[in-house]
Structure 1
Amino acid sequence: MIDAGPTGLAVPDPEALLDALDEQQRAAAEALTGSVCVLAGAGTGKTRTITHRIAYGVASGVYPPKRVMALTFTTRAAAELRARLASLGAPGIAARTFHSAALAQLNHFWPQLMGSPAPSLLDSKARLVARAAEGLRMRLGTAALKDAAAEIEYRKTAAMGYERYAAVALDRPMPEGLDVDAMVTLQERYETIKDEQRMLDFEDVLLATTGMIESEPEVANEVREQYRFFTVDEYQDVSPAQQHLLEAWLGDHTDVCVVGDASQTIYSFAGAQNEYLLRFGERPGASVVRLEHNYRSVDGVVKAANALMTGRRGALTLTAVRRAADPREPALAVRDYADDADEAAGVAQAVAAQIAGGTPPADIAVLVRINAQAAVLEQAFAAAGVPVTTGRATRYFEQPIVRKAVELLRAAVLARLEEPLVKSVSDALRQLGHTHHAPQGPGEQRTRWELLDALGTLAEQAPAGTTLPAFVAELAERAAAQHEPPVGAVSVLTLHAAKGLEWPVVFMVGVSEGLLPISYATTQAEVEEERRLLYVGVTRAKDRLRLSWARSAAPRPGERRPSRFLAELGPSVQVRPPVGTSTARARVAARG
């Protein structure tokens, strides 16, 4: 039941919000105040829990909507949180990334404190790093300059001073041509030039905002008066700079809910520290809730994921809610191939077979460890006539045909056409040649059809009563947040880029020593991060997961070895012969 609240807006029945949750999710949603840690395993309904918890807090009167801040790590995730909260009767909640929230506060308070506008933001460090190196007579190549910029980001994200960084950097690889002392000198010169030009870089936004709150009582009082109830998503990825800012926002208040999974920490190289999540339960009065009912993956995939993380600190034990539709079809299988080209051809033909069997291309992903692996795959997919989309492709809303479609929809808004949303969108798409049935075969015509059809699908999935102006506004928000609709093509992505996504069918290639774990993962901590990266890849799969590796890089002597992690996946691994290639051979890698 929905009642009218004091503002006249519809307010959901609080109990109805809780009825949509399982017992673990409900326990998290009912813990509205104090320090709350939600340990949410892969596929356990983390976003559902977060949004229902906030909506329940608003509907029950505990949370004034304007005093709630939901924090996450990407603009896309923030946009999804806002959309879900609005659909649950809690519009207007501030759902932002750490940086966007900090930047808004910085731009608000800087003029008050300094009497001038906030400094401009630096769009890229490379130019200033190059200028600093030139002034110091350091000859650095393009790669070294990029690595130096990454070291600057690492130091500032980790909130280290130069002395502390110099000690830590002794165990870090330095950019080519630089030792630790030279790297520190280069950073100092970079900061001087940046300050002279009155500019801030990405990390400065967090550091400067934290500094203002800590040093200016009036700023601290205003910020803490505005935001009282915090939720932090993906807390395992929080860096020291972000943690310090969160503590500054909170002050003496304790109303913060953190949500994360230590097994999905894959950004330690960028400064993320899952210790904040692992030790959160030690806070006085903190409550800890575990979400371990996996709704995404079938039992075979979940068992493999559990086997991979057994005994690891902070690991959750997932229980699969779903069962395979066809128990004769193995959820997980491993294949090996003669070389990289053979593997690419075999995977492309296996994907083509899936599509021929009725699986939509958008329901399939091929995951790689590094971008360099994608080139040979793209060639193989082109030869097999399989459409693909990659992380390097033009973004959806930047595609010319999509831009034309959005322009037509904007024109329809200006013309004040009062028609049902789906009809308005269909009319615009037809003007651009869209038909009810897809063209046969791959090619540019099919690509255009898929791009336009994705817009039509968004319109069909819009909540009842959505107007054309509201739909066009949502498209603009999606474009800004890079929240792109699924397009009818197979996704080829790195494991890092795949985090937060899911597909019915997932292929993971290159599961061999030197690629996974990557060759430069030499310490135990680095190898464990590679393990977690594989775990993320495994848990992207809903129904079928296919792992493969190649015994050499090219048709020449030089054997690779299978990844050490494959031996740990246990009896859930089933191995079958490769599909459709003449030289590929399968080797049994099942255990148990």
Structure 2
Amino acid sequence: MSASDRRVARGAPTQMPTSLISVKDWRPAGIEDLEPDAWAALRDTGNVAVVAGPGAGKTEFLAQRASYLLQTGLCPWPQHILAISFKRDAAANLGRRVAARAPEHASRFASMTFDAFTKGLVDRFALALPQDWRMSHGYDIRNAPKSEVDAFLNSVAFSAPQALDGKLGFQSGRFVSDIVGGWNLPESLPADDDIDPVSYAVREWWRARYLRPGRAEVDFVMLNRLAELLVRAVPKLRRALRMTYPIVFVDEFQDTTSAQFSFLTSVFGEETAVTTVGDSKQRIMGWAGAVPEAVQRFTSTFNASTYRLAWNFRSSDALVGLQHVIASKLDPAAVRATSKANAEAGHEPAMLWTFSGEEREARYIADWIARDIAGSDRTPADFALIARQKVKDFEPLFRARLAAHGIRVRNDDARVGKLALQDLLKSETSRLFVGLLRLAHRPRGLAALWQEMSATLERVRGATDHETVQQRVSDDLSDLTTRLRAWLQAHPPSITSAADTVGKVLDLVDSAALRRYVRASAPGEEFDLVIDAFEARLETVLERADDWGVVLDEFESADAVVLLTTHRSKGLEYHTVFFLGIHGRQWWSLGNDPREGTSTFFVGLSRAAQRLVFTSDRSGRTGPISAFFAMLTEAGVAEVNQG
């Protein structure tokens, strides 16, 4: 195996740092200090499980731990730290923080998603797969819908060997995540006379989608299983990965699936220091295959030390108290966090508002937000409207009522093309396009944006470690924005189509290089889908503006009240949160899995920094939903009838 193969995450060589900081002299950068357990976890060079609740600053902790290990030489040059996140925006955020705190070492910090890492291994080393599992015509990524899984399971149950008759009663909703994801691929396909119900069903699944004539069809669970087989079957590759990445971070560990845990254990279970950060109280991905008690399973399997972060940097003390009431229902041993946020005076931190109808609710909340903005320095972006599901049902009324006050609403769950708006706005491709258009429209006063766009283009061109190429990228960015500025001036929004605008940007940025970069850095993000969604979003805002600056403001809607589901709110925070629809219609499935439902409730309410308002109607409060109202009563949340 060549040296280039061993650099599985970085193509270009890095430069050896000129100086290191002694362990005793190292101090955090960008923050005042760390809490005691954070210091202990940071200095622990073994396997570490960090339990971090809402607002604990887990991303900042990981950034500081990376800086500590890199700057002190505990992760020696030329070795890397691999940080695995579950969402692309979380991976990008962590990477940016490390770059800001340890710029000299940032090229040795690889931050990516689980899916990106496993797909990258399969793409690079697929020819080393055992003979029975080699692809002949490449693959396409496609998630099978439930109807297709149902049809498959019915088919295999009908055609199974007589010895397996009546033993293939798998649930379609969990078949891929739990059954396919929990099966380690053998190096050779099992024969019919040496097979059990699970092995038979999974083998037939692979035969139907992967081991078939023509192009294979896979999802990310299957790519994970192929990557695990690859490193198990090729010891040299496993050794190379461990040499390249002696230190691994895994964020949001409570959402780890069976396949991901298996992969982590197989690849990094030995000779690697693994740090996980998570909170079992925020486990809301059970429906997607998240394993129960993932943190405890990790500490047992990896013989890891556990550290619990006790500070909350987001929420006021009163809201931390409310959070603890719900947390204690999920974990009776939960310790109340210590708020490090300054509490604002002059308002109730938590309330329950009841309304006679949806129209009354939207009008009252819109008027209330407008008055609050007028009487403070807050902006619409400080407010969030969160609901368990079906946020589209809330959008029309709130959009109309807030528009009457000149306030926009951004529905992050809305579909734009084939993407959710939140995913489009967080896409690096989308951010690049908007950034270039902003720089072209306004040539001065955007130094930070210029640096961000320059850094993105450096990554696209593979220039992060070459000073000469970096200078060329900077020169090209200047030329690009000058040419784009001339085009925008000649093409006002009122007479320009979104397709022409997107086409012009693609012509200027070297779309082939950008496509290759997206394929390598963001597996699962289909370039063409992002471009189509970007064009669709741009088309809608072009109709409402006659200035390119206004167009871009409308496109991003950064200064808007955000409407989103609890799942999409995870990891975010807002000054004031309205948790809409605390009633049986929104929480109809609560009785099916009360623990995950309570975790979802906990995630939603813990987004608030200063104020939290629950809303409900006057429907019955019996059945599973009664538990939520009992918790609010226990926490001392006052109920107010708003008509």
1:256 aligned residue (253, 264, 274): 274
2:460 is aligned to: none
- Distance in structure 2 (CA, Å) of the matches to 1:427 and 1:547: 50
TM-superposed CA distance for 1:288, in Å, is 1.5
- 1:138-171 per-position Cα deviation (integer Å, ceiling 9, x unaligned): 9xxxxxxxx9975443335651599xxxxxxxxx
User: Which residue of the other structure, out of 613, 622, 630, is the alignment partner of 1:546?
Assistant: 613
Counterpart of 1:469 in structure 2 is: none
**2:565 maps to 1:494:** yes
Go from structure 1 to structure 2 and tell me whether the alpha carbon gap of 1:350 and 1:192 turns closer, same or farther (over 3 Å shift): same
Q: Give, as a single letter, the amino acid of the residue that structure 1 aligns with 2:627.
A: R
User: SS in structure 2 opposite 1:536?
Assistant: helix
Partner of 2:26: 15
Aligned pairs (5 A) from 1:320-331 = 320-326=339-345, 328-331=346-349
Please say if 1:390 is aligned against 2:414: no
Pair 1:85 & 2:149 matched = no
Q: Tell me what 2:71 maps to.
A: 59
The one-letter code sitting in structure 1 at the alignment partner of 2:609 is K
Which amino acid in the other structure matches residue 300 of structure 1? A
Q: Is the 8 A contact 1:364 1:491 kept in 2?
A: yes
How many positions carry a matched residue from both structures? 497
1:310 is aligned to 328
Shift of 1:339: 2.5
TM-score, L = length of structure 2: 0.67
Superposed, which structure 2 residues align to 1:153-164 within 5 Å?
A: 153-156=176-179, 158-159=181-182
Choose the corresponding residue for 2:584, options 501, 505, 513: 513
How much has 1:125 moved relative to structure 2? 2.4
SS at match of 1:20: coil
Task: Tell me the residue number matched to 2:51.
Answer: 39
Query: How far does the alpha carbon of each residue in 1:175-209 deviate from its partner, in whole angstroms, 9 at most, with x for none?
Result: xxxxxx9xx97994674244214422221111111
Q: Helix, strand or coil: the match of 2:313?
A: strand
Q: Cα–Cα, structure 1 residues 190 and 38, in superposed 2: closer, same or farther, change >3 Å?
A: closer
Distance 2:373 2:123 in 1: 50
Match of 2:125 in 1: 109
Deviates more, 1:391-400 or 1:506-515: 391-400
Partner-residue secondary structure (3-state), 2:290: coil
After superposition, the Cα gap between the structure-2 partners of 1:290 and 1:427, relative to the gap in structure 1 and judged at 3 Å, is farther
Q: How far apart in 2 are the matches of 1:296 and 1:378?
A: 31
Q: Which residue of structure 1 lines up, in the alignment, with residue 639 of structure 2? A: 575
Aligned equivalents of 1:110, 1:449: Cα separation in 2: 46
CA distance in 1 between partners of 2:156 and 2:280 (Å): 44
1:155 maps to amino acid? D
- Is the contact between residue 67 and residue 226 of structure 1 (CA under 8 Å) also seen in structure 2? yes
Aligned pairs (5 A) from 1:53-452 = 53-64=65-76, 66-89=79-102, 90-92=105-107, 93-113=109-129, 119-126=138-145, 129=148, 150-156=173-179, 158-159=181-182, 188=204, 191-196=207-212, 197-199=214-216, 200-282=218-300, 286-313=304-331, 315-326=334-345, 328-358=346-376, 359-371=378-390, 373-385=391-403, 386-391=407-412, 392=414, 394=421, 395-396=424-425, 404-405=437-438, 417=478, 444-445=544-545, 449=549, 452=552
In 2, the alpha carbon distance for the partners of 1:315 and 1:429 equals 56
Give, as a single letter, the amino acid of the residue that structure 1 aligns with 2:270: D
Q: Residues 278-315 of structure 1, C-alpha deviation per residue, up to 9 Å, x if partnerless? A: 34444675322111111101111111100112153363
Aligned equivalents of 1:316 and 1:432: distance in 2? 60
Alignment partners' CA distance in 1, 2:284 and 2:142: 25
Identity in percent: 23
CA pair 240-127 structure 1, distance change in 2 beyond 3 A: closer
In structure 2, distance between residues paired with 1:320 and 1:159:
40
> Residue 541 of structure 1: CA displacement?
0.4
Q: Is the contact between residue 184 and residue 229 of structure 2 (CA under 8 Å) also seen in structure 1? A: no
Q: Write the deviation string for residues 53-100 of structure 1: whole angstroms up to 9, x where unpaired.
A: 011001111113633211110111111111111111131211111111
- For 2:397 and 2:56, the matched residues in 1 are separated by 36
Contact 1:366 1:509 in 2 (8 A): yes
Distance 1:261 1:131, change over 3 A: closer
- Residue 537 of structure 1, CA deviation: 0.9
Decide which moves more: 253-262 or 390-399: 390-399
Query: CA–CA distance in 1 between the matches of 2:479 and 2:266?
Result: 49
Which AA in structure 1 matches 2:343? A
Offset at 1:230? 1.0
Q: Which amino acid aligns with 1:224?
A: R
One-letter identity of the residue aligned with 1:154: S
Give the corresponding residue for 2:508: none
Task: Describe the shift of the 1:26–1:375 C-alpha distance in structure 2 as closer, same or farther (beyond 3 A).
Answer: same
- Distance in 2, matches of 1:308 and 1:69, equals 34
Determine the C-alpha separation between the residues in 2 that align with 1:189 and 1:336: 50
Q: Let me know the Cα RMSD of the aligned residues.
A: 4.2
Change in Cα spacing, 1:531 to 1:355, as seen in structure 2 (3 Å) is same
Whether contact under 8 Å (1:451, 1:487) holds in the other structure is no
The residue identity in structure 2 corresponding to 1:550 is D
Amino acid at match of 1:95: S
Distance across 2 between alignment mates of 1:222 and 1:74: 26
Would the alpha carbon gap of residues 10 and 505 (structure 1) be closer, same or farther in structure 2, given more than 3 Å must change? farther
Equivalence for 2:38: 25
- Are the counterparts in 2 of residues 364 and 503 from structure 1 also a CA contact under 8 Å? yes
Offset, 1:568: 1.2
Deviations, residues 480-520 of structure 1 (Å, cap 9, x unaligned): xxxx97701111000011001111111011112342xx223
How many Å separate the matches in 1 of 2:601 and 2:485?
41
